[in-house]
Amino acid sequence: MTTSVTSSTIIQKPTQQNLIACGIFRVVHRLSDTWVRKSPGVDDDFRNLQAIHSEATIYALLGEHCRIARCLSIGKTLDFVDLEFYPHGTLMSYIQTHKESISDTSRVRWALQIIEAVVFAHTKGIIHSDLALRQFFLDSDLNACLADFGASGYPGQEALGMEGASHFLPRDYDQPNTILSDLFALGSTPYELGAGKPPYQGCEDDVIENRFSKKDFPTVNGVLCGSIIMGCWSCIMESPKVLGNLEELRYYNQRVGLNFLEQSERFDRLDANTKDIVTALVNYNVSDAHGLQAQISALSTLLDRTEVVIKSQEDANRRIIVDIFQHLALTSSLHFSSITERYEAVDESHATTFDWIFRRPEDTIQYAEGRRWGNFNDWLKSGSGLYWINGKAGSGKSTLMKYIVSHRNACLLLKRWAGDSSLCTVSFFFWNSGSRLQRSQIGLFRSLLVEVLNQHPELIPIVLPAQWAARYSAKLRTSKFQQDGHVRQAQEPWELSNLQIAFKNFISQTSVPLKLCLFIDGLDEYEGNEEDLAEFFGNASMTENVKICCSSRPHQAFEDAFATRPGLRLQDLTFPDIRQYVHDKLENNTRMQRLGEQEPERPKELIEEIVAAANGELDDLFHQMIFKVDKVYQQETAQLFQLVGFAFRDQWIDELFQYAMPNLLPILLLSFATERDSTLALKARYGFMTQKDVISRCTIMEIHLRTRCGGLVEVQYGNQDPYKTTVGPEMKVGYLHRTVKDYLEFRETRKMLADRTGGQQKDAFSVSRALFKAHHLRLKAFDTANINKYLPWIQLRDTISWARRTEHDTRKGWPELLDEFYKVAYQLWSHAYSRGARKDFFQQQESMETPATQCGLYHYLDAKLSQVNAVTMTRLQRSLLDYALTPAEETEGYISPEVLTLLLERGANPNKNETNSKTSPWQNALLRLDVTVSTMSWDAPERPSAFLDRWAPIIKMLLKYGANPDIQVSGPRKYGTMRRKEASKSTQLTPDELILRIFATDPGLVAELRAALKQAKLKWSQMKSSERKRSQSLVLQEELEISQTNQDKSCMCCLVQ
């Protein structure tokens, strides 16, 4: 580690004159006004050297953090550590000097900062082993920073020391220090802070240890942070066998919490709204250490905000803007593009049908016919709990639900129920044929939350305390906002458990008096466990201020859960509506009018026959419509149903881009997928279609859907202008109704469709290949006039994903088509670059082989490398192995073991220096991995465990194929505040040191990789030994040959004489 030094900074050499401290293992010299150096007390003493080596390693593992003393430089052989000089000294000395003037506010802030520092160290696998106030320095703003890691433990190295008696968890002295022992010491540290002295000050060490062993702790009554102190001492003592870093932290957080905030005088001074936010944060049980850090950090920032005098209107406005931005960012991250798609797709009800739902049952035709159901009007205006609308497939449940949701009567009646409280009504329509979010609980809760929080943004900190806290503390410290007024959609990792907690927070909050009514359609279209869903809504509807109207087919799970609730069975009540619909449709029909003139009673009889036949049994009808089409169209019909069905059915997510195939295909894409000219994808020129051509092609495709598919598959016009009837290229194609999808999902149906397109034959129709070619044609048809700087990457990404899927399904590469794709992609990217896109990815590529390497297109590479028979591809500036190990930013989260194996088997050398960097792919990979993991741990809320799990076998593979285990790698100086491209490259580290740093959070992987390194070193040692012997043998042989030559010459001379 190094740091830049300005010309005004004068760095002295360590001398006796600038010596400022001596410890057990180390001495400290002050080298300048801002710089101190820690070095071994006695250079040749092993323990002293080991202590400074440990401290240097730990600072490298920790990187830069606001709660850790700032490390400025580390010796190349880890023989010293340079730190920032803290003129205010340690927290202990400062308290002793300023005892009378320190406020409770400062003590609470320090307590939070102490916890934050320790939690952060634990996430990096560091056991401090000597926590106390004397180990915390105060910076220029009097913020606490943890230091002195010489006795600490880290992955692969046990601690060298242990705590003093007042901070010591009684245990066997031979046992290693653990997080438990650190947390016990953490309890004694705030005690020092609150009581002004260590526990049992003045007692002998064995007396203190004996008291702690008996759980005889000092009283904390009246001591600031007393609950957290006792929590560390007592609850951790009760659970000595708790294992694992995260489990211990979770247990600690749940049992101890941050409740002392609510008991402090600082809390009493807050306004009511801020008190609610603090309480929500305190009560929110985080699931990992990163969440705990964010929670503590946000509480510190929030409380600081309430105590800073607002000096100008500008400061006040800035805080208002911060709050608005957090609300917008969070609701934006909850929103998803298809959130209202199903509601919009449901047909409007026919005139006057469903009017009976808002009337008294006794006043309806259905009641007169002997039908009975729960009074919906009464339930809306005064009822409680859950109202269940059930009915068989095709009975009109979704249409009825849309009618209710959009009808003003529902709102008026619900307002009578709400009374003086605010009314909040939200709806969600499950859709089994839609996207994953449209058929999952995650989509349900995201939809509900975004609606209720848009209506009541003041509840966001209460409902989503952890997410709001993380954003709030980060944004409030930022002085710049986006100038264009847009809010980027945050990549929030919304998990079901978090969303369920948020929803429960909303329905249980008391800050804003409100009544909530949910309208949930299609519970049977949910993709998960129906019993869990029924139980959830059953429990939610028991809350006093919540009522739920839901609809579903009468599946057993819903029958069991809702049978005793008020409701109705729809197919029993719709005969008058069906009769009205048929009558209205046939009344003005010319042929029916003629029939009525000839036979006056016949139209009435025909209407009754149609109504009686409308019983919802449709499978035979679907079979006729699909399989009885004209022979000329049979193959095309089967292809269309397979393409649409594949899109709905397939669950594949491309791990490269996390691309999920859309459930509804755009009509233009479907048109290209059924293109009869198999050579068009190769011979068509870039920009081969005008906008007029595109519209014409889509119109023809819509006609084909009607004539080939009998109207069972249709273009979904959505909520656009109802008078606009021109089909657009991005309009989606879907099923007429879910019953169509259900029929097409039958195995027999799918087999019959496949048989019509080749079945199991070698040249049979491949859906994935058809969609790959379709994406390629869409690229070629791209209208360059409408290119923006983001669209090209989306289209290119999707095409690559389909190339990957096609390889997966067909087990073949498609070199000709992919080479053509590269040409188109390069042209498209060039147009986008001229309009403001970054010069990235395809502009960085040298041929199709390089993106194929980064994107895992194994079969393509195998085919191409077999043609050229040269893995180095000498025309490339970088080797394919280097592309695979250090890919572009768009693909850096992914690496293909299959492609790596292919390259290494074909002779790729991980140790050969690249022409452009003068470093090897092996060195470049370690450096990129180090930077990526370190920045990932700061920029993302989740730990990068999946990323590390993917990379560990890659490193072992490289070592197996001869990567040099002793190579030196230039490592970055610091992380967190910098971007990847700004990484300094001055510190030389070995693979051993880098692996320890990169995989610090997973000791198991560290052990595996160290074992692999050890094996590789042994192999390299044997290889070098063999080379030396071979070299010596060659030298000896050469000497013998020279000697023999000289003897021959001598003999010749004798003969000549």
- Tell me the pLDDT tens digit for each residue of 229-271: 877 786 543 333 322 333 333 333 333 334 444 444 444 545 5
pLDDT for 250 equals 37
- pLDDT band, residue 367 (cuts 50/70/90): confident
pLDDT of amino acid 384? 92
- Of these ranges, 173-187, 241-255, 502-516, 937-951, the one predicted with the greatest mean pLDDT is 502-516
Q: What sign for the dihedral angle of Cα 112, 116, 118, 119?
A: positive
Residue 608 — very low, low, confident or very high, per pLDDT cuts 50/70/90? low
- Report which residue type is found at 991: P
DSSP string covering 11-72, please?
A: PPPP-STTEEEE-SSEEEEE-SSSEEEEEESSTT-HHHHHHHHHHHHHHHHH-S-TTBPPEE
pLDDT one-digit tens code per residue, 756-784: 888 777 678 888 899 999 999 988 887 65
Q: Average pLDDT for residues 609-627, to the nearest whole number? A: 67
What b/e readout covers 959-982, taking b as 16+ CB neighbours within 10 angstroms? bebbbbbebebebbbbbeebeeee
- The phi, psi pair for 386, rounded to 5°, reads -125, 140
pLDDT at 111: 84
Q: What are phi and psi of 702, to 5 degrees?
A: -65, -40
The residue ranking higher by pLDDT, 316 or 780, is: 780
Least confident of 179-183, 730-734, 879-883, 978-982: 978-982
pLDDT given for residue 489 in this prediction: 39
What pLDDT does 578 receive?
63
Interior CA angle at 227 toward 225 and 232, to 5°? 100
The tens digit of pLDDT for each residue in 777-832 reads: 988 887 655 555 445 567 777 888 889 889 988 888 888 999 898 888 877 766 65
Q: Is the pLDDT of residue 615 over 80?
A: no
- How does strand 546-552 pair with strand 514-521? parallel
With a pLDDT cut of 70, the percent of the chain lying above it is 71
Report whether pLDDT(656) > 70: no
Closest listed residue to residue 379, CA positions, set 428, 425, 416, 423: 416
> Residue 288 in contact with residue 493, Cβ under 8 Å?
no
Helix/strand/coil (H, E, C) string of 772-822?
HHHHHHHHHCCCHHHCCCCHHHHHHHHHHHHHHHHHHHHCCCCHHHHHHHH
| Alpha-carbon dihedral sign for residues 133, 136, 139, 145 | negative
Q: Tell me what the mean pLDDT of segment 343-351 comes to.
A: 72
**Could you give the CA distance from residue 793 to residue 841 in angstroms, rounded to a whole number?**
9
Q: Is the pLDDT of residue 303 over 80?
A: no
- Whether the Cβ atoms of residue 136 and residue 114 lie closer than 8 Å to each other: yes
Query: Which of the residue ranges 105-109, 158-162, 414-418 has the most confident prediction, judged by mean pLDDT?
Result: 414-418
- Give 204-272 as a DSSP string: -HHHHHHHHHTT-PPP-TT-TTHHHHHIIIIIHHT-TT--SHHHHHHHHHHHHTTTHHHHSHHHHTS-H
pLDDT greater than 60 at residue 378: yes
Ranking 64-78, 303-317, 372-386, 940-954 by mean pLDDT, the lowest is 303-317
Ramachandran angles phi, psi of 666, nearest 5°: -65, 150
pLDDT at 175 over 70: yes
Q: If DSSP codes are grouped into helix, strand and coil, which group holds residue 390?
A: strand
Please tell me whether the overall predicted TM-score, pTM, comes out greater than 0.75 for this model. no
**Most confidently modeled of 11-20, 452-461, 929-938, 978-987?**
452-461
923 or 1052: which carries more pLDDT confidence? 923
pLDDT at 965: 92
Q: Which residues is 654 bridged to in the sheet?
A: 659
Q: What is the CA radius of gyration of the chain?
A: 36
pLDDT in tens, 571-595: 888 766 666 666 666 666 677 667 7
pLDDT of residue 170: 87
pLDDT at 402 exceeding the cut of 90:
yes
Flag the least confident range among 379-383, 399-403, 765-769, 864-868. Answer: 864-868
State residue 1051's pLDDT score: 62
> In angstroms, rounded to a whole number, what is the distance separating the alpha carbons of residues 696 and 693?
5
Q: Across all residues in the chain, what is the average pLDDT?
A: 77
**For residue 659, what pLDDT band results from cuts at 50, 70 and 90?**
low
pLDDT digits (tens, 9 = 90+) for 479-499: 333 333 333 334 456 888 889
**Residue of 757 and 868 predicted with greater confidence:** 757
Least confident of 297-306, 556-565, 655-664, 906-915: 297-306
Which pLDDT belongs to residue 832?
59
- Judged against a pLDDT cut of 70, whether residue 82 lies above it is answered with yes
Higher-confidence position of 351 and 333 = 333
Q: Are 593 and 365 in contact (CB under 8 A)?
A: no
Task: Determine the pLDDT at residue 491.
Answer: 47
Q: Report pLDDT for 307.
A: 42
Per-residue pLDDT at 979 exceeds 70: no
Mean pLDDT of 1021-1030: 78
905 in helix, strand or coil? helix
**Closest C-alpha to 466, from 253, 250, 273, 292:** 292
Q: What is the pLDDT of residue 564?
A: 92
Query: What pLDDT is attached to residue 550?
Result: 97
The model's confidence at residue 721, banded by pLDDT at 50, 70 and 90, is very low
Q: What is the mean pLDDT of residues 40-67?
A: 80
Q: What is the pLDDT of residue 51?
A: 86
- Asked whether 744 and 679 are in contact (CB, 8 A), the reply is no
Strand order, beta sheet including 713-716: 665-666, 732-735, 713-716
How confident is residue 446, by pLDDT bands cut at 50, 70 and 90? Answer: very high
* pLDDT score for 1041: 72
For the ranges 320-329, 380-389, 1025-1034, the lowest mean pLDDT is seen at 320-329
Asked if pLDDT for residue 665 goes beyond 90, the answer is: no
Q: What is the mean pLDDT of residues 594-614?
A: 69
Which pLDDT belongs to residue 316?
45
C-alpha to C-alpha distance for 769 and 765, rounded to whole angstroms: 8
